Amino acid sequence: MCGIAGCWNLNSRPLHRPTMDTFIDTLAHRGPDGRGTFFDVNDSLFLGHRRLSILDLSEEGAQPMRSADKRFVVTFNGEIYNFLEIRQELEAKGHRFHSESDTEVLLTAYQEWGPDCQLKFNGMWAFAIWDKLRCSLFLSRDRFGVKPLHYWYDGSTFAFASELKAFLALPQWPFDFDEESIGISILGDNFLEATEQTILKDVKRLPAGTSLYLRRGNRPPVLRRWWRTLEHLEEVPTSYTERIERFRELFNDACRLRMRSDVPIGTALSGGLDSSSILGSITQANVSSGQRSAPHSYTSFVSSYPNSQQDETAFAQEMIRNTGVKGEFMATSPQQALEQLDAITFSQEEIYSFRGTIWFLYQLMRRKKVVVSIDGHGGDELLGGYHHHPIFHLLDRANLARPGLPSAREIQECVRSMFPAGEIPPHYQPSEYIPKNLPQPTKRFCTSWLPQTSYTSRFPYYAADESHLQSANHLQKRLYYDFHYATLPTILRNFDRFSMAHGVEVRSPFLDWRLVRYSFSLPSSDKIANGYSKKILRDSVGDAVPDSIRLRKSKVGFLEPFEKWLGEGFKEKLREIVNDPAFLQSPYWKGKHVRDIAEKAYQENNTRNMKSPWTIAHAHLLTTLFKSQRRQLIAAR
């Protein structure tokens, strides 16, 4: 896990080395353990790398790494979990290795198979490979976009980097914000991560499961979608018992592979089903010798929110007792978060409400010398774990059967059980979207909940996927949408930025491509049945997770109680920001109107009505920090 950057002047203009040094060093937080650069003077190309040492801690694993014949050079961010198996396959073909790193395996695999090597990898990655012979650059991003990669191209210069903030160091990039992206974000649609758009003008995001190829004399860059989950579905066993066993095998193997590390591993434990299942699996795993298992025992890190419905500490404590692992508990106050607000916001890079305690959790991990965290991202999107998913399943049942149709009350009861207090919050009322006449629910329901036409134009690959989903039911469509385009990409972005701000790598067993393929091949009844979400996961981890957690229906997100925090300190910060003259004069929003809404909410102490103004205040804070950093970097040249 690292930070990568690169720049290629296709017009042969010489590179300014101090600028390139600054370009890669803006990512020092992603790679605090080492630094490397590669310059091809004849071709005006630069590759940079900031290293977070996880596999092969020696200098043999340093990057950028050159192939034995000096033809290829790679800079790589991520992990190839099955690198030992691929290495054996390559050795059988006559290749020899000089390090114990997965980087050398990746580079050799590209030498052997070219872009088809992507299909061999089980992992998360963003990498760039320079081919000296062809004078070409190949970039790749993993199947589900776990690792970030951004690029800018103006016809003569091509630059790429792990994070947006790196581009602030390039004087040739005409610094500006993308007005449309900011507008989309402050309206509450935080799904930019699944698009090519970023908040920086002309800086694009390489989409998940996509590669980019650029060759001198053959411009512009060519993008190719090399992965579409719908094209890789499989036949599943006919009996539910066999499907449970297959799920268990895939899940446990995904956890086993992610235990490969030369540094200590921990877990972010929420107390929910997904993170508890992972902890149960890794503590029961019997890792054979030679598998590069992590040194030392595992530690679970828990965020607690006392006196809040978001607090799951009791469940986390029970899981820790059940497994015998060490537990580190952290309680974060809104005052602590306010003290670090600038650093948290700058790390986040995108406009959102707040996810500060995640930032503090990984800070604690690094302080305790834990460098890798195995987390539960993706389980909800794969298996129907969110509050709206039961509605889709029950409406599918209504379409398939006339006798015994689920009533609107039954739907509400199923959803109600997923909220900790047993009551559906006022802002979440699925009854508004449930037609009174359930035998014909489709039209009204789809217009309210299913992805809208506007998303088709924004998501570059959604239209193609939609054509493959014609025969899918409502739940299958929604899960695919949430996993690939909506919820999950945003979660992965937030956790990448906050963990890497402290040099901690996050690994997610639920994102193992084999498990993803299998899960999307399963019938809906394996995911939601008998009042339970994620049923096949619950039925597969019975020996690893206590029933109090395994059979628990309530669903709590892994985030701080921010609405409560707005009433405990953040509202004063909100008032300060919306009265800033620069905020009031911003071209991106109606500052005075936002100030009036915030002021009214402030006077009424209505924290719910403060949330929308806070998102815009966050946008102001982020853009201000980016402007300040740009000035400092350019002035330091």
Residue-wise pLDDT tens digits, 14-37: 999 999 999 999 999 999 999 999
Contact between 41 and 12 under an 8 Å Cβ cutoff? The reply is: no
* pTM for the whole structure: 0.92
The residue type of 421 is A
Produce one character per residue of 198-229: b if its CB has 16 or more CB atoms within 10 Å, e if not. bbbbebbbbbbbbbbbbebeeeebebeeebeb
pLDDT of res. 333: 84
From its phi and psi, is residue 418 left (phi > 0), alpha (psi between -120 and 50) or beta? alpha
CA triplet 202, 203, 204: central angle to 5 degrees? 110
Q: Cis before residue 426, ω within 30 degrees of 0?
A: no
Which H helix or E strand runs over 506? Answer: strand 505-507
372: left (phi over 0), alpha (psi -120 to 50) or beta: beta
Q: DSSP class of residue 609?
A: G
Structure confidence at residue 433 (pLDDT): 40
How far apart CA 250 and CA 234 sit, in angstroms, is 14
In this prediction, residue 176 carries a pLDDT of 96
Say what the pLDDT of residue 427 is.
56
268 - beta bridge partners?
301
Structure tokens at 309: 């419905």
Q: What is the pLDDT of residue 54?
A: 94
Contact 80, 105 (CB under 8 A): yes
- Three-state secondary-structure class, residue 529: strand
Tell me the torsion sign for CA atoms 58, 61, 63, 67: positive
Please tell me the predicted confidence (pLDDT) of residue 248: 97
Looking up tokens 């019997």 gives: 286
Pick from 5, 157, 167, 152: nearest CA to 76: 5
Query: Please, what sign has the CA dihedral across residues 33, 257, 382, 226?
Result: positive
DSSP 8-state symbol, 332: -
Mapping DSSP onto H, E and C, the string for 14-69 reads CCCHHHHHHHHHCCHHHCECEEEEEEECCCCEEEEEEECCCCCCCHHHCCCEECCC
Q: Would you state the pLDDT for residue 408?
A: 52
According to DSSP, the residues that pair with 74 across neighbouring strands are 65, 129
pLDDT in tens, 80-100: 999 999 999 999 999 999 999
Q: What is the per-residue pLDDT for 506?
A: 97
As a whole number of Å, the CA-based R_g of the chain is 24
Stretches in the chain below the pLDDT threshold 50: 289, 401-406, 431-455
Report pLDDT for 531. Answer: 82
Task: Tell whether omega for the bond before 64 is within 30 degrees of 0, i.e. cis.
Answer: yes
Burial label, 147 (beta-carbon count in 10 A; 0-12, 13-18, 19+): buried
The DSSP line for 261-277 is: -SS-EEEE--SSHHHHH
